[in-house]
A and B are shown apart, each in its own frame.
Chain A
């Protein structure tokens, strides 16, 4: 059974710092990996979707990489801003059933002005 782990659980950085969030998964046979952002009391907003055949995806200051063989993904945030403060979740889609999306517990990021 696929398990998804996110480290660290919480991270606090000063504004302007570049940072990396980590996601690991136990089964490398995946279809895709998705990074989400969740603000307090809100739904999940999709940030980046990486297919199993891809190595990375970029959107603005965000870059997500995927190393399927080692079961790892990283979300790189450049020049962090207070508005980046949120919980970031990693989710892995594997298996052929429609319920095979597994979520990590998330990393709560605080960017201090």
Chain B
């Protein structure tokens, strides 16, 4: 069966420090991968998605970047964190080449607090 792992679960970082959040998927090949942010009291905002190694699409201009160095690994990064980067970050995957009839599966999330 497929599983998705996301870490760390919580992170407190000072303003200006770098960030690296990692997400890995097991039990599937060539998944579509997604990074979402959920601000307090707000809905889910899609940040990045990837349909293959090295292929990254950005949804909104921001201080963050994403990379996909391996088929089932998705990394969210920042060189210098801002206070506004605080939030709950969620990784998700869906079937890639099988098409659009499959749903999304989410990781357990990372609570990032920038101080």
Residues from chain A with a CB closer than 8 A to the CB of B32 are 98
Interface size class of B (residues with CB under 8 A): 20 to 34
Does chain A have a CB within 8 A of B105? yes
* Other-chain residue from A32, A43, A98, A105 in contact with B43 (beta carbon distance below 8 A): A105
- Contact across chains for B100 and A42 when beta carbons are under 8 A apart: no
Interface string of B11-27 (1 = CB under 8 A from A): 00000000000000000
Nearest chain A residue, comparing its CB with the CB of B92? A44
Question: 29 A-B contacts, Cβ less than 8 Å apart?
Answer: A31-B100, A31-B101, A32-B101, A32-B102, A32-B103, A34-B103, A34-B104, A36-B106, A41-B88, A42-B108, A43-B6, A43-B106, A44-B90, A44-B92, A44-B104, A44-B106, A45-B106, A46-B103, A46-B104, A46-B105, A46-B106, A51-B101, A98-B49, A98-B96, A99-B49, A101-B46, A103-B43, A103-B44, A105-B43
B residues with a Cβ closer than 8 A to A are: 6, 32, 34, 42-44, 46, 49, 51, 57, 59, 88, 90, 92, 94, 96, 100-109, 111
